[in-house]
Structure 1
């Protein structure tokens, strides 16, 4: 495995570097390592790195023991195979590495404060008291190498444990599957052969384990703005250099004003500092403006890509996902991601560059003080890491609760008439309040976590300031440092502290942004269950519909079978009506023909070809749907009729219906007259969801929208059931006119529509119960006849309606 090889290489590199740094200064005294008292004579806490070598060997041994503890798939206790303690091993690796790194940092501080100013180890002719001194180069070389390798070892070790854990779980599952297969085998064969495919599959699953794609995806989305980000980074680097130079000039001004008075240099240095401050301000503004542009572009890109992905999803996705949650991801989360990432990327680059520049000046002022100050970095990073992991999980929970609360509000606001009609305001408010209470509790947890984080971070900064002041004052008293240099260093230290503080804030904010981005990226990368990969565009299209042994259940209700082995054929030019009890599966047949869903078993064919083989846009122009409650959009009547047939939809300009085509479709739908009577005619705005039109008007526009396609197949899903008698009569007249010379599959409960059909198919319990003409089914006295009698029995004039069946009605 690559992780194991990388871990072994890291071990070899760390042990090699640390061993060489520890033994090279003792090259002429190696014999002393064989006696404890001799080692004690040459060891010095400040000047020897033998303790670094011993700690490194001990940590390598601990890591090896922990990994060997969990490297085998299982252990046997009294004949039972027990899984290794993976969680304990993972925690052991983490804390052993953390302890090792803290001890190394402590060693670095001790060396900075107490070690002699000797860069290289002493030679063979050095005095006896210098034997064993490693020199600053070997000392800090071994410490830095050990620290870097420890970071890598901890990460690789935890990855290995996680992989072994998954492999063990996969093996257990495969063995369980093999045992069940073996037990059910008629020949009593062993389970090993049956388990082999499962074992191979489990191993493949483990090998294909992938990291979260959130960060790489965000980087790819930001790639088009690389030139803007590069210019912003350059301006930020220039601003950071100016910020770092200001404390330097401050110290010089103090020296020229008091310690070593020089009026000319005092004035010139002051002018230089003002010039640097002006340049820093200009570059800071440029950096901020460029990052704001990049933020806006990323926001637009995120929204477009997410909305595009949502447009490609199947109907089952929207059945199982609340609209409020989707709109929350599209509106709130995308803004959180783009704003937080770009804003905090700006702060992060500025702070990191500022820290790097300040460290250069600090090392030039006093490397000993710099090492003491620099110890703050790993401590802050550890705190940020622990806090960021917790905050990221908490942020995802907060976003989820907020999305659920928004879905409750969206559901209520979109159906306010229903809420008021049932006086359900209080229960709706209670449901919304319950969601907000959970949201509030999570927000409180976020506040507590942030408070603890800020307390720890602030104390660390203050402790470092106190340590630097104490040690720096000691150096000034010794004459090793001037007062102006100490003032400059303290300003450097404050600048470094603010940079690290900003980095800590950025880390938590980025964790929140990545938490919000996880769901956004998940939605962007989601592949629809019903893939649109067809490309068939036949020269001729007749419109024959066939369902062969179709079994179907909705994704939102996987345990409820809607269709059970249903077979149905609609010949070209035939009008077939689907009737039957509510919930029998009539509308599901239309949805399968439209390929909103795919059947669990069986096939749905058009002209004897699977519906999925056709080019989707081409097919939608030849198979038109008019539903029970048509949806119109906030655009003109003309554009609502042309919906899906405009140039923006990929339709060639010469194939976009003309105004004459629109008007002809409206005439066929009995809509032309009322449209022309409107003040702006076909350019009249329909309003959101067509609220400015009546139900009958919306239904006729929907019929015109279907007819402008000149479809070969027309699907009518209870197109008149929600209308009053007058509107129903007008719409039915339009339907009668449009159904001629087309393949029509109609779901209706109006007998005037059903009795004129070439064939009536009764759907019951997901199967075809009976089929035939209106008269044939009445004579048969089956399900259809009972539906007619049940409907007629509810009418007060049942006797007269029975003598005139043309005005009767039928329930679904």
Structure 2
């Protein structure tokens, strides 16, 4: 710099505003070289360059998948972009006419020109406000459509997964994927495009007007751009790392269910549970406080530099007004444009939006992992014979759960179940009784041997057909909705069958005593019913399917002796 412009370093700061073009261009060249050198020699990027390139490729692939996922909403996005351009164009013209009004009032007053300027200011204000509302509504409508589509795809994928998947994944993680991560994914294109494109279009329009008013002032207003780019790089890395940690904490909080409160109350463990959750909440608060402090500290230098740049521009603008190169209204319009550029470019918009987009891509990566997962299930069966006898045969069956393959539960199990007989499996806890029931429902596949139903492998039967012929009644049935919803779950047009099944399960008496009968809400997980009533509804849910194989896993543990005997008599005439 000293060689290019002799005496530049000894010049007072205010003289920078009136520096020649060669000095300004040379200063920008030096700043650009300094920024490039900082980017190349950055210690964070040197040792992990291969990893960063791989991460960049993954992010690009995820962004492309998100774009393809949003393809059905392109017409709505196009309409939103049109309203965005119209709104930005109107907002950009308002400062121009504000300067025109100042010039008219400061010179020879022209009533027609003044009225025309005021009219156009009102017209563009109304038009930009209307377009901004349509823009926001279009983006929100598109975001809701994408959110619904992603949740449907994710929930459909979860329904197809095998039981081993749900044993490996915590409930809180699934809740987090279905709620927060799908919301972040749906925001990626509509919300970020709304903010980012609006800022980009407005910055381009503002700088176009600024260049038309004063190229010198425009160059001065760009002095703080390199610092903003440096802040952008630091903020993005910290923000993405924080969101990964916070996502794990949120999943841990979501793993807690409302139904766990009675258990805590029974064991008088409120203090300990409160302490655990309080520690998680405090860790989350400290993380966000650190993020807010970091964002505040990173925003301070650009703001100070922005203030210094404004002082230089005022000095340069005064010189141009005295020289006749710029009017007072033109300087006012330029300052309004420059302030608007700082709002949309330096503070929050273009600097931080890329980091938010990367965090949304991180959420998309987790959801796509679930969408791409292939369930560990055999090919879908097709057998659906009109009659099924119900002969069940275990031939040298061995089995180990997928998450514990080195711990076999069954080894060479062989036995036969014949129609019309009641067979009891007796053994200590962990001996494999519930595992046998799960294999009979084709929820798992044997790791060895064969499981046959009427001489055919059970996996060859059509899924819906099999689960109408082989039905389980567990000790702790899962209930929801109304009484009728529980009995007729998975069936259609079965009103008479539901009433008959409730009678056969000896549930008709207490159902009739309920306020709304069959339409009575059983509460969350059946909390409004007694334990015996829950089991009666579960038995009715099994009997309504007229199964050939009925599996009872301590299904009458909560029934009284009279009711249990009546149920046993009923079962002796239906299924195995």
TM-score with structure 1 setting the length: 0.61
Tell me the alpha carbon deviations over residues 22-58 of structure 1, each in whole angstroms, 9 at most, x when there is no partner. xxxxxxxxxxxxxxxxxxxxxx959xxxxxxxxxxxx
Matched, 1:462 2:350: no
Structural mapping, 1:603-752, within 5 Å: 603-635=450-482, 637-646=483-492, 656-657=493-494, 659-721=495-557, 723-726=558-561, 729-740=562-573, 742=575, 744=576
Query: SS of 1:414's equivalent?
Result: helix
CA spacing shift, 1:278–1:426, aligned 2, 3 Å:
same
| Equivalent in the alignment of 1:418 | 263
- 2:21 is aligned, of 114, 124, 128, to 114
CA distance in 2 between partners of 1:400 and 1:212 (Å): 24
1:470 and 1:569 mapped to 2: Cα distance? 98
Conserved? CA contact 2:393–2:417, under 8 Å = yes
**Deviation, structure 1 residue 344:** 4.0
The answer as to 2:443 corresponding to 1:596 is: yes
* Structure 1 residues 488 and 428: alpha-carbon distance in aligned structure 2, compared to 1, 3 A threshold: same
User: Are the equivalent residues in 2 in contact too, given 1:624–1:706 (CA < 8 A)?
Assistant: yes
**Alignment CA distance shift 1:506-1:164 (3 Å):** closer
Retained in 1: the 8 A contact 2:547–2:574?
no
The 10-residue stretch of structure 1 (391-400 or 730-739) with the greater mean CA deviation from structure 2:
730-739
Matched, 1:266 2:114: yes
Quick one: distance in 2 between partners of 1:405 and 1:160? 33
Would the aligned equivalents of 1:537 and 1:615 in 2 still touch at CA under 8 Å? yes
1:665 deviates by 2.1
Bigger shift: residues 211-220 or 574-583: 211-220
Larger radius of gyration: 1
CA distance in 2, matches of 1:593, 1:385: 57
Q: Compared with structure 1, are the counterparts of its residues 162 and 544 closer, same or farther at alpha carbon in structure 2 (3 Å cutoff)?
A: farther
Q: 1:467 and 1:535 mapped to 2: Cα distance?
A: 80
Question: What residue in structure 2 maps to residue 492 of structure 1?
Answer: 337
TM-score scaled by structure 2? Answer: 0.84
Aligned CA-pair RMSD: 4.0
- Aligned position for 1:445: 290
Q: What are the within-5 Å matches in structure 2 for residues 122-141 of structure 1?
A: none
Unaligned runs of 5+ in 1: 1-43, 47-108, 118-135, 167-205, 647-655, 745-812
Write the distance in 2 (CA, Å) between the matches of 1:381 and 1:551: 62
> Which one of the candidate residues 205, 211, 228 is aligned to 2:76?
228
**Judging changes above 3 Å, is the alpha-carbon distance between structure 1 residues 676 and 263 closer, same or farther for their aligned structure 2 residues?**
closer
- Take 2:144 and 2:284, find their aligned partners in 1: how far apart are those partners? 28
Secondary structure at 1:577's aligned position in 2?
A: coil
State whether residues 242 and 276 of structure 1, in contact with CA within 8 Å, keep that contact through their aligned partners in structure 2: yes
Q: 1:587 aligns with which of 409, 419, 434?
A: 434
Map residues 281-680 of structure 1 onto 2, 5 A cutoff.
281-338=129-186, 342-374=190-222, 376-377=224-225, 379-408=227-256, 410=257, 413-500=258-345, 501=347, 502-530=349-377, 533-635=380-482, 637-646=483-492, 656-657=493-494, 659-680=495-516
- CA shift digits 1:147-201 (9 cap, x unpaired): 99x999x9xx9999628999xxxxxxxxxxxxxxxxxxxxxxxxxxxxxxxxxxx
Instruction: Report the CA distance between 1:463 and its aligned residue.
Output: 4.4
Cα separation, partners in 2 of 1:344 and 1:609, compared to 1, 3 Å: same
Q: Provide closer, same or farther for how the CA distance between residues 243 and 552 of structure 1 changes in structure 2, counting only shifts above 3 A.
A: same
Contact 1:236/1:287 (8 A) holds in 2: yes
CA 1:163–1:687 in structure 2 vs 1: closer, same or farther (change >3 Å)? closer
- Find the counterpart in structure 2 of residue 162 from structure 1: 50
* CA spacing shift, 1:536–1:455, aligned 2, 3 Å: farther
Deviation, 1:424, is: 1.3
Question: Matched residues in 1 for 2:559 and 2:384: separation?
Answer: 41
Q: Deviations over 1:80-112 (max 9, x none)?
A: xxxxxxxxxxxxxxxxxxxxxxxxxxxxx99x9
Query: How far is the alpha carbon of 1:240 from its aligned partner?
Result: 0.4
Whole-Å separation in 2 of the counterparts to 1:538 and 1:530: 22
- Matches of 1:516 and 1:164, distance apart in 2: 18
Cα pair distance change 1:379/1:570, threshold 3 Å? farther
**Please, which moves more after superposition, 528-537 or 356-365?**
528-537
Deviation at 1:626, TM superposition (A): 0.7
Q: Secondary structure of 2:210's match?
A: helix
Deviations 1:249-277 (A, max 9, x none): 12222222225654432332222222211
Q: CA deviation at 1:414?
A: 0.7
Instruction: Report the Cα distance in structure 1 between the residues aligned to 2:394 and 2:302, rounded to whole angstroms.
Output: 67
1:407-437 Cα deviation digits (max 9, x unpaired): 23x2xx3133322222111121122123223
Q: Relative to structure 1, is the Cα distance of residues 466 and 607 closer, same or farther in structure 2, using a 3 angstrom cutoff? A: farther
User: In structure 2, do the counterparts of structure 1 residues 467 and 551 end up closer, same or farther at CA, with 3 Å as the change threshold?
Assistant: farther
Seen in structure 2, the aligned counterparts of structure 1 residues 116 and 455 have a Cα distance that, compared at 3 Å, is closer
3-state SS in 2 of match to 1:579: coil
Partners in 2 of 1:210 and 1:602 — Cα distance?
42
Distance in 2 of aligned mates of 1:158 and 1:614: 58
Distance 1:283 1:644, change over 3 A: same
Alignment partners' CA distance in 2, 1:273 and 1:666: 74
Whether the aligned pair in 2 keeps the contact of 1:542 and 1:712 (CA below 8 Å) is yes
Measured in 2, the distance between the counterparts of 1:378 and 1:615 equals 65
Instruction: Tell me by how many angstroms 1:661 deviates.
Output: 1.6
Quote the offset at 1:387 in angstroms. 1.2
Q: For the Cα contact (< 8 Å) 1:244–1:358, is it kept in 2?
A: yes
Contact 1:324 1:407 in 2 (8 A): yes
C-alpha separation between the residues in 2 aligned to 1:639 and 1:379?
Answer: 62
